[in-house]
Amino acid sequence: MKILIAEDDMVSRRVLQATLVKWGHEVVVASNGDEALAALQSADAPPLAILDWMMPDMDGVEVCRKARQSPSATPAYIILLTAKTEKEDVVAGLEAGADDYLTKPFVRAELRARIEVGERVIKLQKGLAARVEELKKALVEGERAAELLRASESRYRHLVEYSQGLICTQDLAGTLLSVNPAAARLLDYQPHEMVGRNLSEFIAPSERHLFNLYLERIRNHATDSGLLHIVSKSGAERIWQYDNLRYEEAGKEPYVLGHAQDVTGLKEAEAAMRHLSLTDELTGLYNQRGFLALAEQHLKTTRRTGQAFMLIYADIDGLKQINDTCGHQEGSQAIQQLALILKNSFREADIIARIGGDEFTILVAESNSRNVQIPLALLQKNLRHHNTQELHVYQLSLSVGAVCVDPYSDATIEDLLGRADQAMYENKKRKRQPSFATGAQREDVFTQVWPAPEPERRRA
């Protein structure tokens, strides 16, 4: 893949260039921000760029901002390379248009992993752009069809019979007056099974409460467009993008002429892209970005409700020894097995994430230092059951630390993670070294629970 690197330091630039070439990439080199921006705005722009934050005249953040001002169906995937580690700096870079960031000095394995993520996102973007173009063409055809419908009744009837999109008429209360046969078949219905019924009967139950707003918009405006979640006769939910026109004739009741296209595939592709950016590829758990986003939202919610929760930090014992003795593939399998054990030990409402190589964190909702022992005991039970099967020459073991979160505390998620990590580290120092032999007798989970710090507790 063609990759742009922008770095004003010659030594760093050559090291980065040599590394990427060794990995089989075609490298375009820029020594300052102006050259980088010109490369990104060229007709043959590289799909991925690695920009140094600090450069003369125009820094990497400004290059991101200006590059994003040029509309593109497949914008470049930009990674900022920076020595800045403050959260505010990272947020500023991402808000300027960067897709990811990497701190200096970078670790080659991490750089390679982030480039691979970028390649996957670029591939999805290209596929999504192709689907968007298909949708635009379909919508253009729909608009042309609507003009033909108004011009000729005979041509209208012919188009209604054979159009694969939904073409229907409805009154201002939502009752269907006509439905084209092809669209009815796509929903597993015959036209007569739909005509005379209210459109709300075909709306997904989770979206039905919005139907009155749908009717209100078409009553107040001559045109309307949006999305409808439609349920087929077989129970499958589809997403339709619709365009409505309120039609009025003198002496007749007004009605709505509607046209829609099935955009389920497009919306699924968009959801897949969002999922990719928040999920750990090895385990299927949330990654650090996904965990922080969900945990921040949970913290805001608990500050309104006053409900405490627990934050758990867990570290696999002896993963390096497993890698060194059995190989990294076995180490990856150990991580996957541990992830599955965590899923089976906590509730669906809890947030489980892998935030590092051998590090996991769990947000246990509606919990405190007393009832958190229940899932921890289940975790220990599941670990012991796994180890008794003697599937490997090693046994899985965890060191765990937890912090009880006062919802009225001013502490951030990062602060709380740090305290849980410290509790875990204290446990790891106190415990004896894990045995590396089948059938070793020892505790599988070592836990310490810390309360929230006194200055952060709610004042009486």
Summarize pLDDT for 371-384 with one digit per residue, the tens.
Answer: 778 888 899 899 99
Q: What's the confidence (pLDDT) of residue 161?
A: 64
Q: What's the confidence (pLDDT) of residue 159?
A: 59
Structure tokens at 317: 């014992």
Q: What's the confidence (pLDDT) of residue 456?
A: 40
CB neighbour class for 297 (10 Å; exposed up to 12, middle 13-18, buried from 19)? exposed
Query: How high is the mean pLDDT of the chain?
Result: 83
Please tell me which residue, 399 or 441, carries the higher pLDDT value.
399
The residue-averaged pLDDT of 218-245 equals 90
CB neighbour class for 445 (10 Å; exposed up to 12, middle 13-18, buried from 19)? buried
CB neighbour class for 39 (10 Å; exposed up to 12, middle 13-18, buried from 19)? buried
**Distance (Å, whole) CA 186 – CA 322:** 53
pLDDT tier, 265 (very low <50, low <70, confident <90, very high otherwise): confident
The residue written with tokens 């970078």 in the block is 106
**Distance (Å, whole) CA 183 – CA 130:** 24
Q: Is 62 helix (H, G, I), strand (E, B) or coil?
A: helix
**Which one-letter DSSP state was computed for residue 459?**
P
- Under CATH, domain 130-268 is a member of which superfamily? PAS domain (3.30.450.20)
What does DSSP say about strands 77-82 and 48-52: parallel, antiparallel, or unpaired? parallel
**Taking 50 as the threshold, does the pLDDT of residue 63 lie above it?**
yes
Q: What's the confidence (pLDDT) of residue 441?
A: 34
Look at 120-129, 150-159, 204-213, 215-224 and tell me which has the smallest mean pLDDT: 150-159
Q: Over pLDDT 90: what percentage of the chain? A: 24
**Distance (Å, whole) CA 395 – CA 318:** 9
Please tell me which residue, 174 or 448, carries the higher pLDDT value.
174
Q: Where are the domains of the chain?
A: 2-106, 130-268, 279-456
The residue-averaged pLDDT of 134-145 equals 83
**Distance (Å, whole) CA 253 – CA 171:** 8
The residue written with tokens 């004042």 in the block is 459
**Distance (Å, whole) CA 423 – CA 417:** 10
Q: Over pLDDT 70: what percentage of the chain? A: 88
Q: Is 105 helix (H, G, I), strand (E, B) or coil?
A: coil
Q: What's the confidence (pLDDT) of residue 276?
A: 66
**Taking 80 as the threshold, does the pLDDT of residue 145 lie above it?**
no
**Distance (Å, whole) CA 366 – CA 239:** 35
Look at 137-146, 150-159, 168-177, 393-402 and tell me which has the smallest mean pLDDT: 150-159
Comparing CA positions, the residue from 247, 224, 217, 222 lying closest to residue 149 is 247
For 306-361, the pLDDT digits (tens) are: 888 889 999 998 898 888 888 999 999 999 999 999 999 998 889 999 998 899 99
**Distance (Å, whole) CA 320 – CA 331:** 8
**Taking 80 as the threshold, does the pLDDT of residue 451 lie above it?**
no
Between CA 327 and CA 336, with CA 333 as vertex, the angle to 5 degrees is: 150
For 408-423, the pLDDT digits (tens) are: 888 888 998 998 898 8
For 28-42, the pLDDT digits (tens) are: 998 888 888 888 888
**Distance (Å, whole) CA 2 – CA 28:** 7
**Taking 60 as the threshold, does the pLDDT of residue 460 lie above it?**
no
**Taking 80 as the threshold, does the pLDDT of residue 165 lie above it?**
no
**Distance (Å, whole) CA 17 – CA 28:** 9
- Please name the fold of domain 279-456: Alpha-Beta Plaits (3.30.70)
**Which one-letter DSSP state was computed for residue 455?**
G
- Please name the fold of domain 2-106: Rossmann fold (3.40.50)
Structure tokens at 259: 């046209």
**Distance (Å, whole) CA 286 – CA 139:** 36
Structure tokens at 291: 């965990």
Q: Decide if 318 contacts 397 (C-beta within 8 A).
A: yes
Q: What's the confidence (pLDDT) of residue 393?
A: 81
**Taking 50 as the threshold, does the pLDDT of residue 108 lie above it?**
yes
**Distance (Å, whole) CA 139 – CA 389:** 58
The residue-averaged pLDDT of 6-21 equals 88
**Distance (Å, whole) CA 41 – CA 43:** 7
**Taking 80 as the threshold, does the pLDDT of residue 434 lie above it?**
no
Q: Decide if 339 contacts 360 (C-beta within 8 A).
A: yes
C-beta atoms surrounding 74 within 10 Å = 14
Structure tokens at 184: 């009815």
**Taking 90 as the threshold, does the pLDDT of residue 85 lie above it?**
no
For 176-212, the pLDDT digits (tens) are: 999 888 788 888 899 899 999 999 999 999 999 999 9
**Distance (Å, whole) CA 384 – CA 39:** 56
How does DSSP assign 312-352, residue by residue?
A: EEEEETTHHHHHHHH-HHHHHHHHHHHHHHHHHHS-TTSEE
**Distance (Å, whole) CA 246 – CA 248:** 7
Structure tokens at 287: 């990654």
**Taking 50 as the threshold, does the pLDDT of residue 253 lie above it?**
yes
What does DSSP say about strands 2-6 and 48-52: parallel, antiparallel, or unpaired? parallel
